[in-house]
Structure 1
Amino acid sequence: MAGGKNTMNSMVKQTQRRTLFFFLLDMACLYGFIAAIQSLIDRLSQGLAFSPSCFWVLLGLLAGMVVCGFCSQYGFHMLPVLGKKEALERYERRLMAEDHSFFETHSTAFCLSLFQNEISLLAQQKVTFPVVFLYQSFSLIAGAAFLFFNEWRLALFLFGLIGACFFLTHVLSKKIAGHTRLVLDEKNKLFQILHENIEAHRVIRFLNKEAFFSARFCHTLEYGLVPIEKIQALLNAQYVTIYSILSRALPLLGAGIGLVFVALGWMGIGKIVSTYALMSLIQEPIMQLAEIRTQKHTMAALQATIDTVFVSKPRKSDQSYDFNDPIQKLDVQIEQFAYPGSPAILSGLSFSIEAGRHTKLAGPSGAGKSTLIALIMGVLQGKDARVCFNGVDGSSLSPAWRSRHVLLVDQKPKWFAVSMLDNITLGDSFSKAQIDEVIHACVLEDVLKEHSNAIHELSQGQAQRVSIARMLLRQPDVLILDEPISALDERTVALFLPRLKAYAQQHSITLLISSHNEAVDALCAQTIALKKA
């Protein structure tokens, strides 16, 4: 991963350097072209003959502008692609490394919006920022030097006018950056509501509440996002108007003053033409450099938003115990556990599970089975809830240790848009014998023949067994199954449970099964019965 990141950073930097090089070469050709035109006009105004060499010089400079212009523009438009790729990969790795509490705090809609908006926008701006700044700075300096060389008094007057415009836009740029962050915040809220509507569309349709939820979305749009965007539009209009007037008036003003200077004998006709061209060209670096100030404020705001989400945390270490030691005993002691603002859902619970002693977790809905599983898996933690593996407190164990020793199959199957075998292996290497064994244990032989390449065609029960096969193949010490046979028919249950028991015994896997089905009783040596608090 680190090597790939360094390669990408190197590629971005190389593209930045090449793009800047061709930009500067293009600028040199352009100013050379202006100088050649000025020389030609002065020559003709003095009654001298047109020289063929002037034609070839102009043609060569024009060809240089075409080639350098294409190369610089291609590089400039490639930079956002490369920058966004690097940023999305980097933050996706950080997202996947976050613990369970992160996803409890930040919704799916928020994370998607963060990647689509803040991270993507910041990445594109970061990689283009240095190129634009350096090129436009060089361009402005070169244009100013050319103007001073032509007529320093005219240049002083024009740049004084430009400085006044810079001051006005400096104030506006800060306001625009502040409102940009507000717009992104409101978009995140709007995406959250839209995501909730999409996720709950079936319930909404069943209850015939489309109008209610649409009104909720429209209210947030009308009174949250739109008012801020209207202010943003007003600020942008003021900002653009200043430079629009400047870009239209400045070249004509420069030419008009230049004619006065010609009458005074301070300038030639060729210099008026070059001054007009230069003032037109200088508009872009002036506007771009002013825009860069706004962009700098925007980037700082975007980075601050991202930094508040991805906070660096110390990694847990596994040095205090042997990473490969199998779990011989699981101890659970819960004096009391409650969600914030709610009464206790678990209290006075204490039990142990010895290795190889399969256990059923029973109890009515709402008794806390899912909460207990979350505590064992480390998804939840409580000061009065203690889960130990071989006497070691589970809160001190790293995600890497858990992925090796304790796994969970949720009641809702998890599958991905890849082939069935890839869903089971997830890119890890297993022998054909290992895969065939787990396929047999989960009664998936016929399913594999029919749906080897199309996981989305599976039924709920088939997908559930694929999820179980995925975890069994990794042979953890403890495997927790949440309602593993809830979507299976009686015939499949009769085949699956004995095979599951045999596989677990063969590979020293201890099963903890949460189920309402009595068929699981024959598989388990003990039952932990929970009652509603």
Structure 2
Amino acid sequence: MINIDHVSIRFPTRNGHVDAVRDASISVGEGEVFGLVGESGSGKSTLLRALTGLVPLASGNLSIDGTKIGGKLDGEFRRRVQMVFQDPYASLHPRFTIDQALREPLTIHRIANADARIAQALTEVGLGPTFRFRYPHQLSGGQRQRVAIARALIVEPRVLLLDEPTSALDVSVQAEILNLLRRLHREHKLTMILVSHNLAVVGFLCDRVAVMQHGEIVEQLTVDDVRSARVASDYTRMLLRATEGCQGRRAA
């Protein structure tokens, strides 16, 4: 479903350029949930945005469901590939009601039965009809992220790209959103890529994971490998220790 073939992404600077992603290759099967993990600045989100056509490539090839990504992408591709961003406080228009936020993608893609689809989308993410005419500032962070997920799913995509969808939320709310995503993946048979800096989050939701450092993929693992700490890279071991330490502090 998703093919990332020797992709490099470069950004110009005053003193030359910065290689944000270097020679990355990943293949994600249909219906699979794949994780990209690494510390901030490792290139995870940049690679995810490149899959939507928001970031140009320096070299390599990207394709989703047989469509090569590059140049102008048609509306059908935009409908099939949706993204949920990290910050639920920034991803929703503050002057749009929830109804307007969910209606907009339906209007863009000329999808009928808007009222019924909006009601169904809110129900699917655990929000009732009373939320429909509220504004984002009247919602909690977890509720906003549910709306962002509903907005992505309302056009019935095949691929869902998730850019740290729980990192801006409280720990208890993170678990709710992760359980929601796992249920929606199963019900809609979605192919997902989840970006996170937390191996515990990736281990809960994903089948396989790629570890990124300084723009490069240092290794690819199954979730069983992560849980059993069967890793080859010192950097991955460091991430595992950091995750274990964070969980220990939370438990305390």
> TM-score normalized by structure 1?
0.35
Encode CA deviations 1:250-276: one digit per residue, 9 max, x unaligned.
xxxxxxxxxxxxxxxxxxxxxxxxxxx
- SS class of match (1:388): strand
Taking a change above 3 Å as real, the CA distance of residues 410 and 335 of structure 1, as seen in their structure-2 partners, is closer
- SS class of match (2:26): strand
In structure 1, the residue matched to 2:11 is 339
> CA separation in 1, counterparts of 2:165 and 2:43?
17
> CA separation in 2, counterparts of 1:440 and 1:487?
23
- SS class of match (1:412): coil
Q: Assess if the C-alpha contact under 8 Å between 2:7 and 2:57 holds in 1.
A: no
In structure 2, the residue matched to 1:462 is 143
1:404 aligns to 2:85 (yes or no): no
1:415 aligns to 2:98 (yes or no): no
Out of 42, 66, 91, the position equivalent to 1:367 is: 42
1:393 aligns to 2:65 (yes or no): no
The residue correspondences of 1:12-161 to structure 2 (distance < 5 A) are none
1:513 aligns to 2:194 (yes or no): yes
Taking a change above 3 Å as real, the CA distance of residues 433 and 489 of structure 1, as seen in their structure-2 partners, is farther
Q: Assess if the C-alpha contact under 8 Å between 1:443 and 1:495 holds in 2.
A: no
> CA separation in 2, counterparts of 1:427 and 1:397?
19
> CA separation in 1, counterparts of 2:196 and 2:132?
28
Encode CA deviations 1:474-518: one digit per residue, 9 max, x unaligned.
121111111111233333333332332222222222111112232
- SS class of match (2:70): helix
In structure 2, the residue matched to 1:471 is 152
- SS class of match (1:380): coil
Taking a change above 3 Å as real, the CA distance of residues 457 and 478 of structure 1, as seen in their structure-2 partners, is same
Identity %: 29
Taking a change above 3 Å as real, the CA distance of residues 505 and 397 of structure 1, as seen in their structure-2 partners, is farther
> CA separation in 1, counterparts of 2:75 and 2:44?
25
Question: What one-letter code is carried by the residue in structure 2 that aligns with 1:385?
Answer: G
Question: What one-letter code is carried by the residue in structure 2 that aligns with 1:343?
Answer: V
Question: What one-letter code is carried by the residue in structure 2 that aligns with 1:415?
Answer: L
- SS class of match (2:192): strand
- SS class of match (1:360): strand
1:528 aligns to 2:210 (yes or no): yes
1:352 aligns to 2:3 (yes or no): no
> CA separation in 2, counterparts of 1:427 and 1:344?
33
- SS class of match (2:121): helix
- SS class of match (1:449): helix
Question: What one-letter code is carried by the residue in structure 1 that aligns with 2:28?
Answer: I
Taking a change above 3 Å as real, the CA distance of residues 519 and 390 of structure 1, as seen in their structure-2 partners, is closer
- SS class of match (1:443): coil
Question: What one-letter code is carried by the residue in structure 2 that aligns with 1:482?
Answer: D
Taking a change above 3 Å as real, the CA distance of residues 510 and 498 of structure 1, as seen in their structure-2 partners, is same
Aligned residues, how many? 203
Q: Assess if the C-alpha contact under 8 Å between 1:497 and 1:520 holds in 2.
A: no
> TM-score normalized by structure 2?
0.70
Q: Assess if the C-alpha contact under 8 Å between 1:333 and 1:349 holds in 2.
A: yes
Structure 1: unaligned runs, 5 residues or longer: 1-328
> CA separation in 2, counterparts of 1:491 and 1:368?
28
Larger relative helix fraction:
1
The residue correspondences of 1:284-323 to structure 2 (distance < 5 A) are none
- SS class of match (1:530): strand
1:497 aligns to 2:178 (yes or no): yes
- SS class of match (1:342): strand
In structure 2, the residue matched to 1:51 is none
The residue correspondences of 1:231-242 to structure 2 (distance < 5 A) are none
Higher Cα Rg, which structure: 1
Question: What one-letter code is carried by the residue in structure 2 that aligns with 1:412?
Answer: D
Question: What one-letter code is carried by the residue in structure 2 that aligns with 1:345?
Answer: A
Taking a change above 3 Å as real, the CA distance of residues 521 and 369 of structure 1, as seen in their structure-2 partners, is same
More contact order relative to length (CA 8 Å, sep ≥ 6)? 2
Taking a change above 3 Å as real, the CA distance of residues 437 and 358 of structure 1, as seen in their structure-2 partners, is farther
> CA separation in 2, counterparts of 1:378 and 1:470?
19
What's the CA shift for 1:467?
A: 1.3
Encode CA deviations 1:125-149: one digit per residue, 9 max, x unaligned.
xxxxxxxxxxxxxxxxxxxxxxxxx
In structure 1, the residue matched to 2:121 is 438
Question: What one-letter code is carried by the residue in structure 2 that aligns with 1:438?
Answer: A
Taking a change above 3 Å as real, the CA distance of residues 376 and 485 of structure 1, as seen in their structure-2 partners, is same
Larger relative strand fraction:
2
- SS class of match (1:377): coil
In structure 2, the residue matched to 1:135 is none
> CA separation in 1, counterparts of 2:7 and 2:206?
26
Q: Assess if the C-alpha contact under 8 Å between 1:481 and 1:512 holds in 2.
A: yes
Taking a change above 3 Å as real, the CA distance of residues 343 and 383 of structure 1, as seen in their structure-2 partners, is closer
In structure 2, the residue matched to 1:481 is 162
The residue correspondences of 1:231-270 to structure 2 (distance < 5 A) are none
Q: Assess if the C-alpha contact under 8 Å between 2:105 and 2:151 holds in 1.
A: no
Q: Assess if the C-alpha contact under 8 Å between 2:146 and 2:177 holds in 1.
A: no
What's the CA shift for 1:440?
A: 3.9
Question: What one-letter code is carried by the residue in structure 2 that aligns with 1:473?
Answer: I
In structure 2, the residue matched to 1:426 is 104
Q: Assess if the C-alpha contact under 8 Å between 1:345 and 1:532 holds in 2.
A: yes
Question: What one-letter code is carried by the residue in structure 2 that aligns with 1:454?
Answer: Y
In structure 2, the residue matched to 1:253 is none
Q: Assess if the C-alpha contact under 8 Å between 2:10 and 2:19 holds in 1.
A: yes
Encode CA deviations 1:219-262: one digit per residue, 9 max, x unaligned.
xxxxxxxxxxxxxxxxxxxxxxxxxxxxxxxxxxxxxxxxxxxx
The residue correspondences of 1:274-285 to structure 2 (distance < 5 A) are none
